[in-house]
Amino acid sequence: MTIAIIGGGIGGLAVAAGLHKIGIKAHVFEQAQSFKPLGAGIGIGSNAMLALDRIGIADGVIKSGMPLHEQRFLNGELDVMNRIDFSRLKQKFGEETLTIHRADLHEALFHAVDPAHFHFDSQVTDFVQHANHVTLTFQDNVTRHFDYVIAADGIHSIFRQTLVPGSEPRYAGYTCWRGITENKGDVPLHISSEAWSKYGRFGWAPLYGGDVYWFACVNAAENDAYYAKLDKNGAARLFAHFSPEVERLISESKDAYFLHHDLYDIKPLDSFVYDRIILLGDAAHAATPNMGQGAGQAIEDAYELMRAIDQEPSMEAALARYETKRVRKTNKVIKLSRQIGWAAQWQNPLLIGFRNTVFPLVPKSLLFWRLTFLFK
Ligand SMILES: Cc1cc2nc3c(=O)[nH]c(=O)nc-3n(C[C@H](O)[C@H](O)[C@H](O)COP(=O)(O)OP(=O)(O)OC[C@H]3O[C@@H](n4cnc5c(N)ncnc54)[C@H](O)[C@@H]3O)c2cc1C
């Protein structure tokens, strides 16, 4: 059986590693010419760590990760409103929740893939499905044929947007900066935090090796020209109302990791399998990053697809099982992430007053319970 994976992001690499583990050497086609510094940091939930462990690549990630014991939610004055106990997740499910430099995560995944089957500078520009195979066309007009294609080509997936009309990304209503900055002792180890104010949201988490990963979001029109132009000092001024430490984290960001993007998700899909094309990762279920689960869900896709292909008697049965395992769960992540972002970005003082009064009263056990569906 021949399989092509389109996209060498977290999802594409994880599924290539998983298939490699069960003896299938899929070809990965990535449009970039090389891996560049890939964004800033990323949180990997313990559910995704479980999947990485079962694919056999958790060790490389743990080595470069910073274990988190707690997530704190703060108000605009940086008073703690509530917490999620990640240590309890570890006790119950056996794996840490981590933060990691994206480049380190990528490297750990890339290590588990056969380099002879990884093709840079290979952009798929078109595809045609036939009864027994799929024909891919690349940017240089070369065509290649595969029995199955795993489309891990991200939120702007040409496969999804061709197979599911109307599935283009939806703007979430807020724009976001991200960065990595040296930890000068002002960010405690093992705790991630997120502060919600009338003027925007700021989140930060320690990284292994003495850095801090941070993100900052404000409500904005899509492609807002003013925000697009802001440099790190300009962005720092926007969030200085939180504290001098927050202003420092933004203004002292390392240049290569200071990033700005509008945020999007996609409307949940009913299906991830379209005959011989299988959607995976953001191509299938891009969510807003409010639960820190996008990459984690891509990794779970990879694990479930690997297991289904390994254990089911036919590819048809494996793909049916993949859909059963993945569609409902990832749809829930898209919806819950969008709801969290909606409440975290409130600007109306009445709504904020309500949120800041009620949220601290929500029992920690309930917040914990809301996450347990990720482990089912
Ligand atoms: C601000 C922000 C913060 C986030 N924080 C977190 C977090 O803390 N935790 C978490 O789990 N997730 C987080 N996410 C989500 C996470 O980044 C994504 O869910 C994850 O990267 C998706 O991986 P993917 O492989 O599916 O897609 P991508 O990473 O988008 O990879 C797709 C790959 O396909 C390639 N490609 C695209 N089209 C083609 C083509 N036609 N031919 C060949 N190659 C192609 C691209 O070059 C790319 O390398 C965050 C996202 C954002 C925006």
Distances in Å between the alpha carbon of 354 and those of 75, 84, 159? 12, 20, 43
Give the residue-averaged pLDDT of 296-324: 98
50-60 pLDDT tens trace: 999 999 999 99
Termini Cα distance of the chain = 30
232-252 pLDDT tens trace: 999 999 999 999 999 999 999
Domains in the chain (CATH in brackets) are 3-169+265-375 (3.50.50.60)
Lowest mean pLDDT among 29-38, 92-101, 255-264, 272-281: 29-38
Residues 6+ apart with CB under 8 A from 295: 10, 11, 42, 44, 48, 105, 281
Q: In what order do the strands lie in the sheet with 97-101?
A: 41-44, 97-101, 66-68
Atom of ligand 1 nearest to the CA of 176: 1
172-197 pLDDT tens trace: 999 999 999 999 999 999 999 999 99
Q: Which of 8-17, 29-38, 94-103 ranks highest by mean pLDDT?
A: 8-17
Rounded distance from Cα 138 to ligand 1 centre (Å): 21
Pocket probe for ligand 1: among 282, 293, 330, 340, the residue whose CB has the most ligand atoms within 8 Å is: 282
**Global model pTM greater than 0.75:** yes
Cα dihedral 301, 16, 96, 187, rounded to 10, equals -100
* Ligand 1 shell residues, CB under 6 Å: 6-12, 29-32, 42-43, 123-124, 152-154, 158, 176, 178, 215, 261, 263, 281-283, 289, 292-296, 298
Question: Quick one: pLDDT at residue 56?
Answer: 94
Give the residue-averaged pLDDT of 191-216: 97
Would you place residue 132 in the very low, low, confident or very high pLDDT band (cuts 50, 70, 90)? very high
Q: Whose CA is nearest to atom 33 of ligand 1?
A: 7
Atom of ligand 1 nearest to the CA of 123: 42
Question: Quick one: pLDDT at residue 38?
Answer: 65
Residue 87 clears pLDDT 70, i.e. is over it: yes
Q: Whose CA is nearest to atom 52 of ligand 1?
A: 289
Residue 368 clears pLDDT 90, i.e. is over it: no
Rounded distance from Cα 174 to ligand 1 centre (Å): 18
